[in-house]
Every structure is written in C-alpha cells, then in structure tokens.
Amino acid sequence: MSRPLLEVANLRVAYGAGWRRVEAVRGVSFEIARGRCLGVVGESGSGKSTLARAILALEDRVSGRIEFAGQDVLALDRAAKRAFRRRAQMVFQDPLGSLNPRVQAGAALAEVLRVHGLAGTRAEAARQTADWLETVGLDPAYAGRFPHELSGGQRQRVNLARALCVGAEFLVADGPVSSLDVSVQAQILNLLKSLQETRGITWMLIGHDLAVMRHMADEVLVMKAGEVVERGPAADVLARPLQAYTRELLDAAPDVARALDRRAAAAASLELNRGPVPEQDVPA
C-alpha cells in the first residue's frame, strides 16, 4: 500500500502567549492519499483556513507533524520551502482579488514561469501559457485580457492555471466556487474533477457548501473550534452523520438535496473539460 501524499499528526496552531494564548487548530490529524480529495467543512471560525495555511507552511506558530511526500514540512529551510511551494499551491475564494488588476492573464502566468525558472525565453513562456490556458478550458486568446475583462469563472480558471503551471501536485482550494453562479460552479467543479482524474492532482477542498463537498470530496473532515469532530467517506458523513454538530450543519442547509439536483443537472449538460470549453457566464 502506497504512502499518503500528505500526513498530518497532532497539528496545533496557536496565537499569543499566557492568558492571551488562543489555539486556532487543536490536535488535528489526518492524511490524504495521492489523487484523492479531502473536504474540510465547518462554520466560520472553525479553523479551516488556518489549517490550510499551516499545511502550506504559511504559519509559523505551528507544532505537530506535517509530512508531504515523506518530507517534514516544518523542518524545511528557505530554499526547500520554496521548492515545496511549487508542489503545493493554493486557490483562493475570490478569483478577482487573487489577480493583479493591471496584469493581463497571460502575463500573470508567464511571470510565475519565469520566477521559478520554468521558461527561459519569452517565446517559451508564451507557449507554455497558451498550453496551460487550454488545459483549464480557456482559449489562448484570453491571455491578452485583464481581470476585469474576464468573467468570474474565467478568472478562476486563470488562477487554476497559475497554480498548476509550476508543477503543483497538491492543491488547497478555499471555497473556489462559492462566489460563482450555479451554472458556472458546475463547469469549474467538472474541471477540478477532470484534473484529479487525468493529472492525478490531490486536493484539499475547504468550504461550507455541503452540496459541493458531496460532489467533489472522497472523504470529509468536519471541524469545530479548531478540532476534528467527525471524519469519513463523504457519502456516509453527509448522509448518516454520527455527531450532533455535523447534523446541525446539515440542518442549516435545508436545500442541500435540491442544490445537488441542480448541480447534477447542470453538470450532465456539460462535458468534462478535455480542452477549451466556452464559458457560460459574462464579464462582470
């Protein structure tokens, strides 16, 4: 049996000292197998985003163990941490806020390629940029557009391309479709599923939309006040929760079944992203 790509044991993230010390993440343990998607759910303030930042070595006040592909993340020096962040990337909730409004989509990708030494010339950067835009379902012509000239779904595709172009094999997606229309959500979710299946991408999906978790996640981890209160296969946890808190989350989303039906209907009308796919929403 192969070793999980990510292993986390007794992870703690604390802020302050003495009586002001607050533990945002308290003794969290889990693992993610290669090519799988772990969904992390919980109410606002439950520690989901802090957990994600700690895993990506963006938090310093951390104790416990984080191993990525057998490598101790907490012991990495500056150079090794830079290499690690090429393999592990984050996609944020706000696609517009994640992009520089004064930089065209293609230039944003080309800059990342040059910084990481993945494109020696402008021509090579342009070629790779076009390839990655096609990979996430955008026509290469979109390279010449500024963020305000793109729709929400198109912006998120650019963010995905920027994360993947450095060779990322693990992505943390923090509410990647929560700000998009339902029909566009289906397209982006299909794209994520396709990348998982065709490229073996491993995911950690953070959010509170249980319909999205049911569609995307292989396993679900439920957090409350910095702790894990329930974990298991997504279908089991969301259909037959064992903990009262998980049932409260489900009760707080009474139209989950209806949302699932809407997304399933939208997804059924779209092919999995194998190449450029026309975007259905319009520029903001």
Q: According to the model, what pLDDT value does residue 253 have?
A: 67
What are 209-263's pLDDT values in tens digits?
887 888 889 999 999 999 999 999 999 998 899 999 999 888 876 554 455 555 5
Q: Report the b/e string of 100-132 with b at 16+ CB within 10 A.
A: eeeebbbbbbbbbbeeeebbeeeeebbebbbeb
Distance, CA of 242 to CA of 144 (rounded, Å)? 51
Q: According to the model, what pLDDT value does residue 124 have?
A: 93
Q: According to the model, what pLDDT value does residue 273 have?
A: 47
Classify 38 as helix, strand or coil: strand
Q: What single-letter DSSP state applies at residue 76?
A: -
Q: According to the model, what pLDDT value does residue 213 have?
A: 87
List the structure tokens of 262.
């809407």
Rg of the Cα atoms in the chain: 19
What are 167-177's pLDDT values in tens digits?
999 999 988 88
List the structure tokens of 186.
């289906």
Identify each DSSP E strand in 97-218 by its residue range.
170-174, 202-207
Q: According to the model, what pLDDT value does residue 277 have?
A: 47
Distance, CA of 173 to CA of 176 (rounded, Å)? 6
Q: According to the model, what pLDDT value does residue 283 have?
A: 46
Predicted TM-score (pTM) of the model is 0.84
Q: Are 13 and 51 in contact (CB under 8 A)?
A: yes
Q: According to the model, what pLDDT value does residue 282 have?
A: 45
At 27, which helix (H) or strand (E)? strand 22-32
Identify each DSSP E strand in 147-218 by its residue range.
170-174, 202-207
Q: Which residues of the chain have pLDDT under 70?
A: 1, 253-284
Q: According to the model, what pLDDT value does residue 90 have?
A: 92
Q: According to the model, what pLDDT value does residue 179 have?
A: 77
What are 131-140's pLDDT values in tens digits?
999 999 999 9
- Pairing mode, strands 219-224 and 202-207: unpaired
Q: Which domains does the chain possess?
A: 6-268 (3.40.50.300)
Q: According to the model, what pLDDT value does residue 261 have?
A: 55
**87 CB-contact burial (10 Å; exposed 0-12 / middle 13-18 / buried 19+):** middle
The alpha carbon of 47 is separated from its chain's Cα centroid by a whole number of angstroms, namely 16
Give the Cα-Cα-Cα angle 46, 49, 51 (nearest 5 degrees).
Answer: 85
The alpha carbon of 210 is separated from its chain's Cα centroid by a whole number of angstroms, namely 15
List the structure tokens of 133.
């835009």
Nearest C-alpha neighbor of 62 from the set 14, 123, 9, 8: 14
